[in-house]
Structure 1
Amino acid sequence: MDKTISIAEQHPAKYWHKLDDGRIQCDLCPRDCKLHEGQRGACFVRGRVSNKMVLTTYGRSSGFCVDPIEKKPLNHFYPGSSVLSFGTAGCNLACKFCQNWDISKSRSFDKLADPASPEAIARSAGELGCKSVAFTYNDPVIFAEYAMDVADVCHEQGIKAVAVTAGYIHDQPRRDFFGKMDAANVDLKAFTEEFYVKQTGAHLQPVLDTLKYLKQETNIWVELTTLLIPGLNDSIHEISAMSEWITNELGADVPLHFSAFHPDYKMTHISATPA
């Protein structure tokens, strides 16, 4: 049963329309959640109240941390600088191997302990000497309205905006969201549709569409990350196919990071990535 959406959680959301059967459909990501009154989407943070879509995590954070920009990882975007990292709760993917599952799969907003207005975040970043602010820990596309407002205020103060995302988002919100970003690390989780469907509950093509859009239609600095899970997405054939696609569609100058898997969440039966 969906948790009741309180008045404090009802920030107006974009990207939805009414259906003929009385439900409303969220148009933010390819999940296309269709909601009755009081229901939440698969991400758990977007829901329907009084026949409108609301974002329940606007202005609240699951935590902050000052990191080196290389930790995002972004190795070629203001290298050596500091970034103020923060996230909220929820996710629009269902990765069985999630390494941040306590935040991204949270169904309790006790995780959202820190009030964080866009102005407060930008001010803190400046006071801490951070060159940029990163939307991370959970996927920022699900709190797009909040992230875009933060980015606007940061830009007014000369602070850059960074998205760490799986890139699972529809075309118009993709254009709006990334139109506010200066850099992105996109998590390309694998290079087969089978992996995306079985292990993330999503599809590969929308992610590839996001990557092509970022490199072919924007000036955003882009780097990619793939978590190598033994036996699932680490074959020579798959890595070669992925590398060839990146070179042909995005360019040979796009950095690709490989990160190590450790058993977690719903995937504790697979051993960690060997060194």
Structure 2
Amino acid sequence: MSHNSIVSTKYWHNLEDGRIQCDVCPRACKLRDGQRGVCYVRGREDDEIKLYSYGRSSGFCIDPIEKKPLNHFYPGSSVLSFGTAGCNLACKFCQNWDMSKSREMDTLCDTALPEQLAQTAQHMGCNSIAFTYNDPVIFMEYAMDVAAACHELGLNSVAVTAGYICPQPRQEFYAHMDAANVDLKGFTEQFYKKICGGSLAAVLDTLNYLKQETSVWFEITTLLIPEQNDSEQELHQQCEWHYEN
């Protein structure tokens, strides 16, 4: 892997037992030297947590914005979509598992610096760039730099995300985003733990944050899986939560 794809990060802290804890997402991976987090693209090196996928992108495609899906954010416009390797969840129904669980980033990803992506999107007549296929919170440093380059050219930045991120990095990440589609994957802690390897409460906290404390336009998607997250009771509880919040 090119050395340029490895960058320092700031959301981590030292533990008394000598390990370092990553503070980007609620997984709170506790790492010894040379270890990677569950997301695989963040790991410990030189007594800090580094990102290993900066400038490494894949899955380039020009889509209608409705495919993200965002139905009320510049409808009819085009968006340049891309992702990287890795993910901080482990959804058993993942449609992009070949990217989200890849451990071969050099063969999977092309080099694409933030300014290059923004210029390409502008050249192709896109209104926005979307971070998709895998969750951009795990490569937030790269995503934020791409968003900044987009804003310099008058383009928008869109996060397609599961919303599984801690409060402090969440504030910085969404300060760079214009829109988001948040995958609310189910509405029970059991589903999140068993099927996704995550936590419902953390995602609901992100949704509340987006509505109450930001100007980010966001829409919510729930993929219904028969006999897993589609019971009448669960859907009723989810709709009630949306109405009340």
Q: Hey, what does 1:144 align to over in structure 2?
A: 140
Letter in 1 for 2:230: D
Q: Hey, what does 2:77 align to over in structure 1?
A: 81
Q: Hey, what does 1:25 align to over in structure 2?
A: 21
For 1:152-167, list aligned pairs within 5 A: 152-167=148-163
Q: Hey, what does 2:229 align to over in structure 1?
A: 233
CA offset digits 1:115-137 (Å, max 9, x no partner):
11000000000000000000000
Letter in 2 for 1:36: R
Unaligned runs of 5+ in 1: 250-275
Structure 2 distance, partners of 1:34, 1:168, is 17
Per-residue deviation, 1:6: 7.0
Structure 1 distance, partners of 2:75, 2:18, is 50
Per-residue deviation, 1:8: 4.5
1:192 partnered with 2:188: yes
Per-residue deviation, 1:113: 3.0
Conserved? CA contact 2:99–2:108, under 8 Å: no
Conserved? CA contact 2:5–2:56, under 8 Å: no
Letter in 1 for 2:201: Q
1:57 partnered with 2:57: no
Structure 2 distance, partners of 1:63, 1:118, is 16
Letter in 2 for 1:221: W
For 1:1-275, list aligned pairs within 5 A: 7-249=3-245
Conserved? CA contact 1:63–1:114, under 8 Å: no
Per-residue deviation, 1:96: 0.9
Structure 2 distance, partners of 1:34, 1:7, is 24
Normalised TM-score (structure 2): 0.98
Unaligned runs of 5+ in 2: none
Structure 1 distance, partners of 2:74, 2:173, is 21
Normalised TM-score (structure 1): 0.87
Larger deviation: 107-116 or 178-187? Answer: 107-116
Structure 2 distance, partners of 1:13, 1:122, is 23
- Count the aligned residue pairs: 245
Provide the alpha-carbon RMSD of the alignment: 1.1
Conserved? CA contact 1:134–1:164, under 8 Å: yes
CA offset digits 1:64-97 (Å, max 9, x no partner):
1000000000000000000000100100001111
